[in-house]
Amino acid sequence: MDKKRVFLTRTLHDFALKELKKKYRIEVHSGKIPIPRKKLASKIKEVEGLICFPYDVIDKALIDKANNLKVISTYSVGFDHIDVEHAKTRKIRVGYTPEVLTDATADLAFSLMLDIMRRVSEGDRIIRNGDWRQIYGAYDYVGTDLQKKTLGIFGLGRIGTAIAKRAKAFDMKLIYHNRKPVSKSKERELGIKFVSFNQLISQSDVISIHVPHTKQTDLLFDKKVFSKMKKTSFLINTARGKIVNEMDLVSALKKKEIAGAGLDVFASEPIGKRHPLTKIQNVTLGPHIGSSTMETRAKMAEITVNNLHLGIRGKKPKFSVGY
């Protein structure tokens, strides 16, 4: 019997490719990343399985090109790049990689928080530019304590919860906003209080975003929100770039309407050195590395392959979006 065909929009770990090759006829895109849409459209036509990445836009028009596709397995926890509803109407399963990247992403969010509040990267830039002239002055390179500050978690899901646990160890006060409050016992365990969105933005010393990018969260953090935040507050975003209006953020940072930001995600990635955010000192930037540890990325590959195995046989992937 002919092997089923699987297309990968980019290569994965050797062990994952080996595993896939045992069962399928695989083809891996090499060359321009993201894969040009035209090429992806021609591949999706032929294959039973697709492995994609968070920057591959798998929309309705693309899904409609598929003749035999059974499963889309994304190497990410985010799935806002896939028209999941449409895939469902075409009986195409969608797999994703939650859980395994919770700690890695929470660590990164927390490190951005420490970095921007204690001006670590800024200090590094100062030294590399040969600008370190004075030592130990009363006002030299002073940052902000984390202890006793209020951390506002926007989205108390898996990653938000992992952030709360880390923040507790730093003796921070915790508030959160979700569409629905979590259980009272979880609130007690974490020592966290539910507040409205307006309270979250006006009371927090640091806000960390942990919600998906949806119609409701699109560009939610805009100039109106920044004007309600404390002038001494910080914004951390390791979720999705499009939740923040970047130009409004640039303006708020320049005008010192907020104190700083730590960002691992951007509206359009990668950003280049001409991006206005790179011209601002009170911001720490990361190249979308929330889940990027050796251990986590390997686990994500394992799940991506397992999701594909199940989906291609018409079964529900272990980590499945919806259907």
Residues that bind ligand DGY (CB under 6 A): 54, 76-78, 101, 288, 290-291
Catalytic residue among 166, 213, 288, 297: 288
Task: Report the nearest approach of ligand DGY to the CB of residue 102 (Å).
Answer: 10
Task: Report the nearest approach of ligand DGY to the CB of residue 301 (Å).
Answer: 12
Alpha helices (H) in the chain, listed in sequence order: 14-23, 37-44, 60-63, 84-89, 102-118, 120-128, 158-169, 184-190, 197-203, 223-228, 246-254, 294-312
Please identify, using beta-carbon distances, which residue of 102 and 204 lies nearer to ligand DGY. 102
Q: Write down the residue that tokens 């902000």 correspond to.
A: 144
Q: Answer whether 113's CB lies under 8 Å from 134's CB.
A: no
Task: Report the nearest approach of ligand DGY to the CB of residue 280 (Å).
Answer: 23
Please identify, using beta-carbon distances, which residue of 53 and 197 lies nearer to ligand DGY. 53
Please identify, using beta-carbon distances, which residue of 24 and 319 lies nearer to ligand DGY. 319
13 classed as catalytic: no
Task: Report the nearest approach of ligand DGY to the CB of residue 96 (Å).
Answer: 8
Closest CA to 116 of 268, 284, 250: 284
177 classed as catalytic: no
Catalytic residue among 125, 269, 295, 313: 269
Backbone angles phi, psi at 62, to 5 degrees: -70, -45
Please identify, using beta-carbon distances, which residue of 190 and 265 lies nearer to ligand DGY. 265
Catalytic residue among 5, 29, 240, 297: 240
240 classed as catalytic: yes
231 vs 10: CA distance, rounded Å? 43
What spatial distance separates the first Cα and last Cα of the chain, rounded to whole Å?
28
How do strand 71-74 and strand 24-28 relate by DSSP bridges?
unpaired
Q: Answer whether 193's CB lies under 8 Å from 167's CB.
A: no
Please identify, using beta-carbon distances, which residue of 212 and 276 lies nearer to ligand DGY. 212
243 vs 112: CA distance, rounded Å? 17
Please identify, using beta-carbon distances, which residue of 55 and 141 lies nearer to ligand DGY. 55
User: CA–CA distance from 199 to each of 162, 176, 226, 277, 303 (Å)?
Assistant: 22, 9, 13, 27, 38
Task: State both tokens at 145.
Answer: 């304590």
User: What is the separation of C-alpha 21 from the centre of its chain, rounded to a whole number of angstroms?
Assistant: 30
Sheet holding 283-285, edge to edge: 192-194, 173-177, 150-154, 206-209, 234-237, 260-263, 283-285
Which residues are known catalytic residues?
Answer: 240, 269, 288
